[in-house]
């Protein structure tokens, strides 16, 4: 199995987290985003939108889209499932993956990009900070009476949120989390998980 990705990429990190949870390694093929290797014909043949990651199985099956890959690996690799069997917990997991994708990661990355590349456009940062406010409030309320977003267990919902939260802390935005005690306690649990540490190069 080959994973075409970049170790700094949030989307690649979701896939790496699932592999680490399952105790599996894929052959990692580094796609250099600075050199635009994601736009080469060879990579476009695996990922027609010219981004990472893409997964290639030993039988030649190729797929892309980080959340789809995460679900596929969780379903096919042996080990503890990251998808709840209980239908309501499953619904909550999918709901929060939707929250991450639709409301959180966009504004979070707006902040991260400005800080990470030192462009520091304060207008963009303010928009990003405003954007993540409501999702963080919603997460905080959800985590008031359970340790993880879908219930008692770490699931693909945490896998999907972790790379963006990791970057917000890495670029010094920890004050965003200070008013949200439940989110802060949750992040303590999530960020100390060996799979999350490994996927994020810690
Ligand atoms: N929806 C895609 C998004 C992939 C994506 O945007 N990847 C970023 C890195 S996290 C990328 O390759 N950026 C390089 C570019 O846009 O050229 C997924 O979840 O896999």
Q: What's phi and psi for 154, nearest 5 deg?
A: -65, 130
Q: What is the mean pLDDT of residues 36-59?
A: 98
- Into which CATH architecture does domain 2-76 fall? 3-Layer(aba) Sandwich (3.40)
For the CA of 47, the nearest atom of ligand 1: 20
Predicted confidence at residue 193, as pLDDT, reads: 98
How many whole angstroms separate alpha carbon 149 and alpha carbon 63?
27
Pocket of ligand 1 (CB under 6 A): 9-11, 33, 38, 50-53, 65-67
Predicted confidence at residue 125, as pLDDT, reads: 97
Ligand 1: centre distance to CA 105 (Å): 12
Predicted confidence at residue 113, as pLDDT, reads: 97
**Hey, whose CA ends up nearest to atom 6 of ligand 1?**
51
Sheet with 27-30: list strands edge to edge.
27-30, 2-5, 54-56, 62-64
Predicted confidence at residue 9, as pLDDT, reads: 98
Q: What is the mean pLDDT of residues 126-135?
A: 98
**Hey, whose CA ends up nearest to atom 5 of ligand 1?**
51
For the CA of 11, the nearest atom of ligand 1: 10
Reported as a pLDDT band with limits 50, 70 and 90, residue 158 is very high
Predicted confidence at residue 85, as pLDDT, reads: 98
**Hey, whose CA ends up nearest to atom 15 of ligand 1?**
51
Q: What is the mean pLDDT of residues 33-49?
A: 98
Q: What is the mean pLDDT of residues 77-85?
A: 97
For the CA of 52, the nearest atom of ligand 1: 12
For 93-109, the pLDDT digits (tens) are 999 999 999 999 999 99
Q: What's phi and psi for 29, nearest 5 deg?
A: -105, 110
Choose the residue to mutate in 8, 16, 35, 51 for probing ligand 1, maximizing ligand atoms within 8 Å of C-beta: 51
Residue whose token pair is 């919902």: 157
How many whole angstroms separate alpha carbon 9 and alpha carbon 164?
10
Whole-number Cα distances in Å, 88 to 84, 92, 144, 161: 9, 6, 17, 20
Domain 2-76 matches domain 87-199 at the CATH topology level = no
Choose the residue to mutate in 3, 4, 7, 11 for probing ligand 1, maximizing ligand atoms within 8 Å of C-beta: 11
Ligand 1: centre distance to CA 144 (Å): 32
Predicted confidence at residue 181, as pLDDT, reads: 98
What is the pTM for the complete model shown? 0.97
Reported as a pLDDT band with limits 50, 70 and 90, residue 199 is very high
Q: What is the mean pLDDT of residues 151-159?
A: 99
Whole-number Cα distances in Å, 162 to 121, 158, 159: 24, 6, 6
Neighbouring CB atoms inside 10 A of 171's CB total: 17
Task: Quickly name the fold that domain 87-199 has.
Answer: Glutathione S-transferase Yfyf (Class Pi); Chain A, domain 2 (1.20.1050)
* 43 contact partners, CB below 8 Å, separation of at least 6: 4, 31, 37, 50, 52, 54
Calculate the dihedral angle through the C-alpha atoms of 49, 51, 57, 58, rounding to the nearest 10 degrees. 100
149: phi > 0 → left, psi -120 to 50 → alpha, else beta; which?
Answer: alpha
Q: Is the separation of the CB atoms in 11 and 166 below 8 Å?
A: no
* Domain layout of the chain by residue ranges: 2-76, 87-199
């Amino acid at each position: 199995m080959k994973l075409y990705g970049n170790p700094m990429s949030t989307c690649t990190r979701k896939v790496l987290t699932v592999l680490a949870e399952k105790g599996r390694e894929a052959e990692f093929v580094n796609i250099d985003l600075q050199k635009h290797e994601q736009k080469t014909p060879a990579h476009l043949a695996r990922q027609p939108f010219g981004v990472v990651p893409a997964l290639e199985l030993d039988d030649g099956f190729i797929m892309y889209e980080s959340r789809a890959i995460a679900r596929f690996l969780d379903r096919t690799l042996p080990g503890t499932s990251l998808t709840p069997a209980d239908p309501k917990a499953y619904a909550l997991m999918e709901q929060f993956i939707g929250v991450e994708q639709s409301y959180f990661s966009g504004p979070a990355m707006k902040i991260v990009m400005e800080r990470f590349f030192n462009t520091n456009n304060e207008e963009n940062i303010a928009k990003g900070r405003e954007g993540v406010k409501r999702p963080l409030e919603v997460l905080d309320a959800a985590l008031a009476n359970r340790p993880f977003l879908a219930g008692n267990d770490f699931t693909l919902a945490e896998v999907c949120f972790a790379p963006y939260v990791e970057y917000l802390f890495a670029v010094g935005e920890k004050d965003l989390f200070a008013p949200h005690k439940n989110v802060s306690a949750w992040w303590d649990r999530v960020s100390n998980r060996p799979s999350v540490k490994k996927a994020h190069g810690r």
